[in-house]
Structure 1
Amino acid sequence: MTTSTATVTLADLTRMLRESAGEEEGIDLDGDVIDTPFIDLGYDSLALLQVIGEIQRDYGISIPDDAVVDAETPGALLALINSGRTPAA
Protein backbone atom coordinates (compact mmCIF):
# COMPACT_ATOMS: atom_id res chain seq x y z
CA MET A 1 0.00 0.00 0.00
CA THR A 2 1.29 3.43 -0.90
CA THR A 3 1.45 6.08 1.80
CA SER A 4 -0.91 9.04 1.75
CA THR A 5 2.02 11.39 1.06
CA ALA A 6 2.53 9.92 -2.43
CA THR A 7 1.36 12.04 -5.34
CA VAL A 8 -0.98 10.46 -7.86
CA THR A 9 0.37 11.18 -11.35
CA LEU A 10 -1.36 11.25 -14.72
CA ALA A 11 0.38 7.96 -15.52
CA ASP A 12 -1.08 6.43 -12.33
CA LEU A 13 -4.54 7.73 -13.19
CA THR A 14 -4.51 6.50 -16.79
CA ARG A 15 -3.22 3.08 -15.67
CA MET A 16 -6.10 2.79 -13.20
CA LEU A 17 -8.63 3.91 -15.81
CA ARG A 18 -7.37 1.23 -18.21
CA GLU A 19 -7.47 -1.44 -15.49
CA SER A 20 -10.94 -0.48 -14.26
CA ALA A 21 -12.76 0.35 -17.47
CA GLY A 22 -10.51 -0.41 -20.41
CA GLU A 23 -9.52 2.05 -23.10
CA GLU A 24 -11.77 3.42 -25.82
CA GLU A 25 -10.62 2.51 -29.33
CA GLY A 26 -9.00 5.50 -31.01
CA ILE A 27 -8.18 7.21 -27.70
CA ASP A 28 -4.52 7.49 -26.71
CA LEU A 29 -4.36 7.87 -22.95
CA ASP A 30 -0.61 8.30 -23.24
CA GLY A 31 -1.17 11.48 -25.25
CA ASP A 32 -1.97 14.97 -23.96
CA VAL A 33 -5.22 14.14 -22.14
CA ILE A 34 -4.79 16.21 -18.98
CA ASP A 35 -7.49 18.72 -20.04
CA THR A 36 -9.67 16.36 -22.09
CA PRO A 37 -13.12 15.74 -20.57
CA PHE A 38 -13.54 12.18 -19.29
CA ILE A 39 -16.64 11.77 -21.44
CA ASP A 40 -14.51 12.47 -24.55
CA LEU A 41 -12.05 9.81 -23.33
CA GLY A 42 -14.88 7.28 -23.09
CA TYR A 43 -15.25 7.19 -19.30
CA ASP A 44 -18.53 7.69 -17.46
CA SER A 45 -19.20 8.41 -13.80
CA LEU A 46 -19.26 4.70 -12.93
CA ALA A 47 -15.73 4.22 -14.31
CA LEU A 48 -14.53 7.26 -12.36
CA LEU A 49 -16.09 6.00 -9.14
CA GLN A 50 -14.28 2.68 -9.60
CA VAL A 51 -10.98 4.52 -10.05
CA ILE A 52 -11.66 6.76 -7.04
CA GLY A 53 -12.31 3.66 -4.95
CA GLU A 54 -8.99 2.22 -6.05
CA ILE A 55 -7.16 5.48 -5.29
CA GLN A 56 -8.76 5.64 -1.83
CA ARG A 57 -7.64 2.07 -1.09
CA ASP A 58 -4.16 2.31 -2.59
CA TYR A 59 -3.27 5.77 -1.35
CA GLY A 60 -5.20 5.76 1.93
CA ILE A 61 -7.08 8.97 1.24
CA SER A 62 -10.72 9.99 1.32
CA ILE A 63 -12.31 11.75 -1.64
CA PRO A 64 -15.94 12.88 -1.38
CA ASP A 65 -18.11 11.49 -4.20
CA ASP A 66 -19.73 14.89 -4.77
CA ALA A 67 -16.31 16.48 -5.36
CA VAL A 68 -15.50 13.85 -7.99
CA VAL A 69 -18.58 14.85 -10.02
CA ASP A 70 -17.10 18.34 -10.54
CA ALA A 71 -13.75 16.96 -11.74
CA GLU A 72 -14.51 16.62 -15.45
CA THR A 73 -10.92 16.16 -16.71
CA PRO A 74 -7.89 14.14 -15.60
CA GLY A 75 -6.17 17.39 -14.59
CA ALA A 76 -9.10 18.47 -12.42
CA LEU A 77 -9.32 15.03 -10.81
CA LEU A 78 -5.57 14.95 -10.09
CA ALA A 79 -5.77 18.43 -8.55
CA LEU A 80 -8.61 17.21 -6.32
CA ILE A 81 -6.75 14.05 -5.33
CA ASN A 82 -3.41 15.71 -4.67
CA SER A 83 -4.51 18.87 -2.87
CA GLY A 84 -6.08 18.93 0.52
CA ARG A 85 -6.33 15.16 0.73
CA THR A 86 -7.89 13.74 3.83
CA PRO A 87 -6.50 10.48 5.25
CA ALA A 88 -9.10 7.74 5.14
CA ALA A 89 -10.54 6.76 8.51
Structure 2
Amino acid sequence: MSQTFTLDDLKRILLEGSGAPEGTGLSGDILDTEFSDIGYDSLALLETAGRVEREYGIELDEAVVGDASTPRAFLDAVSAHLMTPAA
Protein backbone atom coordinates (compact mmCIF):
# COMPACT_ATOMS: atom_id res chain seq x y z
CA MET A 1 0.00 0.00 0.00
CA SER A 2 1.41 3.35 -1.01
CA GLN A 3 1.05 6.15 1.50
CA THR A 4 1.93 9.78 1.19
CA PHE A 5 2.73 12.32 3.87
CA THR A 6 1.95 15.89 2.87
CA LEU A 7 2.46 19.32 4.37
CA ASP A 8 -1.25 19.34 5.27
CA ASP A 9 -0.75 16.04 7.16
CA LEU A 10 2.18 17.54 9.05
CA LYS A 11 0.22 20.68 9.92
CA ARG A 12 -2.72 18.61 11.17
CA ILE A 13 -0.52 16.44 13.35
CA LEU A 14 1.38 19.45 14.73
CA LEU A 15 -1.89 21.14 15.66
CA GLU A 16 -3.38 17.98 17.18
CA GLY A 17 -0.31 17.28 19.28
CA SER A 18 0.99 20.68 20.25
CA GLY A 19 -1.58 23.24 19.22
CA ALA A 20 -0.74 26.50 17.56
CA PRO A 21 1.92 28.60 19.28
CA GLU A 22 0.86 32.16 20.03
CA GLY A 23 2.06 34.74 17.56
CA THR A 24 2.99 32.20 14.91
CA GLY A 25 1.16 30.17 12.38
CA LEU A 26 1.32 27.34 9.96
CA SER A 27 -0.06 29.34 7.07
CA GLY A 28 1.93 30.67 4.20
CA ASP A 29 5.12 29.23 2.74
CA ILE A 30 6.63 27.46 5.75
CA LEU A 31 8.39 24.55 4.01
CA ASP A 32 11.86 26.00 4.56
CA THR A 33 11.16 27.87 7.80
CA GLU A 34 12.88 26.54 10.91
CA PHE A 35 10.44 24.86 13.30
CA SER A 36 11.76 27.10 16.07
CA ASP A 37 10.82 30.17 14.00
CA ILE A 38 7.21 28.98 13.76
CA GLY A 39 7.05 28.21 17.47
CA TYR A 40 7.68 24.47 17.70
CA ASP A 41 10.47 23.16 19.94
CA SER A 42 12.13 19.75 20.07
CA LEU A 43 9.50 18.40 22.47
CA ALA A 44 6.73 19.30 20.02
CA LEU A 45 8.67 17.55 17.25
CA LEU A 46 9.11 14.43 19.38
CA GLU A 47 5.36 14.36 19.95
CA THR A 48 4.79 14.89 16.23
CA ALA A 49 7.19 12.09 15.31
CA GLY A 50 5.40 9.73 17.71
CA ARG A 51 2.03 10.56 16.22
CA VAL A 52 3.37 10.04 12.69
CA GLU A 53 4.81 6.66 13.67
CA ARG A 54 1.50 5.49 15.13
CA GLU A 55 -0.67 6.85 12.33
CA TYR A 56 1.51 5.64 9.45
CA GLY A 57 2.87 2.44 11.01
CA ILE A 58 6.52 3.38 10.59
CA GLU A 59 9.49 3.77 12.90
CA LEU A 60 11.48 6.97 12.49
CA ASP A 61 15.13 7.14 13.43
CA GLU A 62 15.83 9.31 16.45
CA ALA A 63 18.02 11.48 14.23
CA VAL A 64 14.97 12.49 12.18
CA VAL A 65 13.73 14.82 14.90
CA GLY A 66 17.17 16.28 15.51
CA ASP A 67 18.09 16.68 11.86
CA ALA A 68 14.72 17.78 10.49
CA SER A 69 14.76 21.45 11.39
CA THR A 70 12.22 22.49 8.75
CA PRO A 71 8.89 21.09 7.58
CA ARG A 72 10.50 20.18 4.23
CA ALA A 73 13.21 18.11 5.95
CA PHE A 74 10.61 16.38 8.16
CA LEU A 75 8.41 15.60 5.14
CA ASP A 76 11.39 14.21 3.23
CA ALA A 77 12.40 11.98 6.15
CA VAL A 78 8.89 10.59 6.62
CA SER A 79 8.41 10.12 2.88
CA ALA A 80 11.68 8.16 2.68
CA HIS A 81 10.38 5.79 5.37
CA LEU A 82 7.05 5.40 3.61
CA MET A 83 8.75 4.50 0.34
CA THR A 84 11.01 1.88 1.93
CA PRO A 85 9.45 -1.56 1.59
CA ALA A 86 8.78 -3.42 4.84
CA ALA A 87 11.17 -6.26 5.57
Fold shared by both chains (TM-score > 0.5): yes
Q: Per residue, is there more helix in 1 or in 2?
A: 2
Q: 1:29 to 1:88 in 2, by over 3 A?
A: farther
Q: Does 1:25 align with 2:22?
A: yes
Cα distance in 2 for residues equivalent to 1:63 and 1:88? 13
Unaligned ranges ≥5, structure 2 = none
Please state if 1:52 is matched with 2:49.
yes
Identity percentage of aligned residues: 49
Q: Is the 8 A contact 2:58 2:81 kept in 1?
A: no
TM-score by length of 1: 0.85
Q: Is the 8 A contact 1:61 1:88 kept in 2?
A: no
TM-score, length-scaled by structure 2 = 0.87
Is 1:63 the counterpart of 2:67 in the alignment? no
Aligned length: 86
Partner SS, residue 81 of structure 1: helix
Please state if 1:43 is matched with 2:40. Answer: yes
Q: Secondary structure at the match of 1:62?
A: coil
- Structure 1 unaligned spans of 5+: none
User: Are the equivalent residues in 2 in contact too, given 1:62–1:88 (CA < 8 A)?
Assistant: no
Cα RMSD for the two superposed structures: 1.9
